[in-house]
């Protein structure tokens, strides 16, 4: 019987432990970790994400602030807000919700956030640290995937992991973390040949392409562990539903363990954002 990897349950345990660690941190340093979340525009999905992040920050015992800007905000105005937060000692973590409206330069904003406050783990300095195995602030979704895998499988050494997708946010950092866990790692993408055959070799299959139900049950090695990062809104039977990058019904008949959508990777991403915020606060007050 296929094991359902319950991201809600695992993330709740992560946040519960974080709340304990935060109390210890506050008692030791007299400082409450501070998270600033910046939302530009009124994208409904982004609003939900921001609301959940602020809720989890409160649950972890952090001081959280929201900065909501109109959709027509200019680059200079957003840059100025980020610089203000960089210079605010009560803010230990800065998250600018992506994607940004098209008139704004995302790479510029990512570079502008102080590396030590980059709780998304996207700053070039943090990306370089991850590539060299020295990262403290790790991209949240890949970190969450690793926690799920380790809870499910224990030691990952020697397993063949296939990552479908090569984005800077998930695919590339996921591959780096799996390498650090002593997996044999293959990354497949839009230009790869024989993707189905490569996926069928995977002991661990991580899907992060943003294409609804692209990975079919026939692509999966019997007994493999499948982590579905995709969150796609589709119309089915006249209703709007969220589905992953994996055809869940088919995959769950073959896989040994699988994460659902929703309720899998999503909650873990937010929990790991909180982990990064506490890590960032500890680094800053200890500097």
Say if residues 280 and 117 touch (Cβ distance below 8 Å). yes
Can you say which residues are annotated as belonging to the binding site?
A: 165-167, 231
Check if the beta carbon of residue 217 is closer than 8 Å to that of residue 247.
yes
Q: Are strands 232-236 and 239-243 parallel, antiparallel or unpaired?
A: antiparallel
Residue 189, phi then psi, degrees to nearest 5? -155, -170
Closest CA to 181 of 138, 245, 218: 138
CA 266 to chain centroid, in Å, comes to: 7
CA distance 27 to 214: 49
**Phi, psi dihedrals of residue 239, rounded to the nearest 5°:** -120, 150
From residue 54, how far is each of 35, 58, 70, 133 by CA, in Å?
A: 8, 6, 19, 30
- Omega within 30 of 0 (cis) for the link into 99: yes
CA 225 to CA 218: how far, in whole Å?
A: 14
d(CA 99, CA 111): 15
Q: CA triplet 190, 192, 194: central angle to 5 degrees?
A: 120
- Do residues 25 and 62 lie in contact, with contact meaning Cβ atoms separated by under 8 Å? no
Positions marked active-site: 53, 97, 120
Q: Which residues are annotated as a binding site for NADP(+)?
A: 165-167, 231
């Amino acid at each position: 019987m296929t094991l359902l990897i319950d991201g809600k349950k695992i993330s709740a345990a992560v946040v519960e432990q974080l709340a304990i660690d935060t109390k210890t941190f506050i008692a030791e340093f007299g400082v409450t970790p501070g998270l600033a979340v910046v939302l530009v525009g009124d994208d409904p999905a982004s609003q939900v994400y921001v609301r959940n992040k602020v809720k989890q920050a409160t649950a972890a015992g952090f001081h959280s602030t929201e900065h909501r800007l109109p959709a027509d905000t200019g680059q200079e105005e957003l840059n100025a807000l980020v610089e203000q937060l960089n210079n605010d000692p009560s803010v230990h973590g800065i998250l600018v919700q992506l994607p940004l409206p098209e008139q704004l330069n995302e790479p510029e904003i990512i570079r502008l956030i102080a590396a030590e406050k980059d709780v998304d783990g996207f700053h070039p300095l943090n990306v370089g640290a991850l590539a060299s195995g020295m990262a403290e602030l790790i991209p949240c979704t890949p970190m969450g995937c690793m926690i799920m895998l380790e809870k499910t499988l224990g030691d990952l050494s020697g397993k063949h992991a296939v990552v479908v997708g090569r984005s800077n946010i998930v695919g590339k950092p996921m591959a780096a973390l799996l390498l650090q866990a002593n997996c044999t790692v293959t990354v497949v993408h839009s230009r790869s040949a024989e993707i189905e055959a490569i996926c069928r070799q995977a002991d661990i299959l991580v899907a992060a392409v943003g294409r609804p139900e692209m990975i079919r049950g026939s692509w999966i090695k019997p007994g493999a562990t499948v982590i579905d990062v995709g969150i796609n809104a589709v119309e089915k039977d006249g209703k709007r539903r969220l589905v992953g990058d994996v055809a869940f019904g088919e995959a769950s008949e073959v896989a040994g363990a699988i994460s659902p959508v929703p309720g899998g990777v999503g909650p873990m991403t937010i929990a790991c954002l909180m982990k990064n915020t506490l890590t960032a606060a500890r680094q800053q007050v200890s500097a």
